[in-house]
Amino acid sequence: MRTTLVELFEELADLKTLIDSIKPVNDALSDLKLTVVQRYISIRKRFDDAAFSVALYSSFEKFVENLIVEYTRIESRHVDYQALPEKLKDRHLTQSAEPLFRKRLGKNRYIGILPCDVVKNLFDCLSETKPYRLNEAAIIFHDKNLYANEVDTVFSALGIENICALVCDADATRAWYRDTQNLDTSLEVKVRPTVIEERLKDIVVRRNQVAHHGGVPLNILGVDAMGDAVAFIKSLATSIFGLVVGTYFKNHHAESTNRVELVLRSKDSVYQNRKIVVVEKPFKRIFVGQPVFVILESTGARWGRVKNLRVDNVEAQDIEENTNAPNGVRVRLDFEYPNNAKVKLIALQDDDDVVWPPLAPNE
């Protein structure tokens, strides 16, 4: 699942390269006084804007669809079909049957999809066959552009309601908003849902202008505005991903025997920019490099790895069950522990490559 976000970041990096090239290229060409070159510069501005608008929206739409597909693949491997969210089953049933009835399979978004495969998958699901396979085209179906309300709709099928309102409190959204408003990084901010709605609407509308009017946008974005649009999509996607990951953690690690809860010794056991916590000696082994996470009910999850362990100021690579630690264990994280006493810090005994990238050789 994490690869969906990695792929989006790679595409956004390419867009940033495009943005960074616009001024240097135009400056270099502007010295050439040939009429055809000057006309090319004028045309290029329009088509750079058109290409950017289409590519940015397309990257976001692909990210949303791929994330939903990956999440539902994971769920279908671990959960019986009847235990899936009702909205997900309703969407799967309706959007599997609709293209069959209207004979749309093999066309447009259904290219390469055979009727017999759709029928077999649907039959297996409804007859509770194991393993079963969802019709992915049905899961990600949406016949509207991804305005905020449509983003809410497609993610509600996963059991996440009003996701565009939830992202307002997410770490990445708040960081983006502080940056765009030139606010102090330590300042607590509240991003209003209308900010998300309007910024997303602007990206969708610009994409539609290009689709309907060709390479003749009504107003051309400057490079700064393009950069801000990329930063917004990056923060929005990161926040959405965190909420989906939080749901995944609750579904698959909340009661897992693979988990170890690290209990803070007191409310004052968090320091150094909230990246070090002092916990009671755990009842199972913990170790450097171990995956850890917290779930924030309203904004998803934070996750990372144990970067360092200390007992009585002595560094250790691991802490065993029989380790003597009367003063607790100091754990350094690579993310900020939330300022919320109810949040639980959970360590996993084994890696989970759905969310965590592999450890680098020197880690």
Confidence (pLDDT) at 214: 64
pTM confidence score = 0.90
Tell whether 234 and 116 lie within a shared domain: yes
Residues 6+ apart with CB under 8 A from 239: 166, 167, 170, 171, 172, 173, 299, 300
Q: What pLDDT score was predicted for residue 100?
A: 84
Task: Please state, in angstroms and as integers, the Cα–Cα distance from residue 313 to each residue in 42, 279, 307, 310, 332, following that order.
Answer: 64, 14, 15, 5, 12
Q: Are residues 288 and 270 in the same domain?
A: yes
Task: Please check whether residue 355 lies inside any domain of the structure.
Answer: no
246 and 267 part of one domain: no
Say if 102 falls within a structural domain.
Answer: yes
Distance between CA atoms of 152 and 354, rounded to whole angstroms?
Answer: 23
Identity at 99, one-letter amino acid code: P
178 with 220, same domain?
yes
Domain boundary among 252, 277, 293: 252
- Number of H helices and E strands in the chain, helices first, is 10, 10
Q: Among 252, 282, 304, which residue terminates a domain? A: 252
**Concatenated DSSP letters for 93-127?**
HHHHHHHHHTT-TTSGGGTT--HHHHHHHHHHHHT
Backbone torsions φ then ψ of 300, nearest 5 degrees: 100, -120
The answer to whether residue 353 sits within a structural domain is no
Quote the tokens at residue 131: 């393993």
Q: What is the pLDDT of residue 49?
A: 86
pLDDT 10s digit of each residue in the chain, 363 long? 999 999 999 999 999 999 998 888 877 777 777 777 777 777 778 888 888 999 999 999 999 999 999 999 999 998 999 999 999 999 999 999 988 888 888 777 778 888 899 999 999 999 999 999 999 999 998 888 999 999 999 999 999 999 999 999 999 999 999 999 988 877 788 899 999 999 999 999 999 888 776 655 567 788 899 999 999 999 999 999 999 999 999 988 877 888 899 999 887 788 888 899 999 988 899 999 999 999 987 778 999 999 999 998 899 999 988 888 888 899 999 999 988 767 899 999 988 989 998 877 666
Number of domain units in the chain? 2
Which contiguous run of DSSP H or E holds residue 326?
A: none
The CA distance from 69 to 57, in Å, is 18
Q: Which domain holds residue 47?
A: 2-252
DSSP characters over 265-313: SSTT-EETTTTEEEEPPPSS-EETT-EEEEEETTTEEEEEEEEEEEETT
Residues 323 and 234 in one domain: no
Residues 305 and 238 reside in one and the same domain: no
Structure confidence at residue 217 (pLDDT): 57
Would residue 271 count as lying in a domain?
yes
157 within 8 A of 83, measured Cβ to Cβ: no
Q: Which CATH number belongs to the domain containing residue 340 in this structure? A: 2.40.30.10
One-letter amino acid of 91:
R
For 282, the token pair is 């755990």
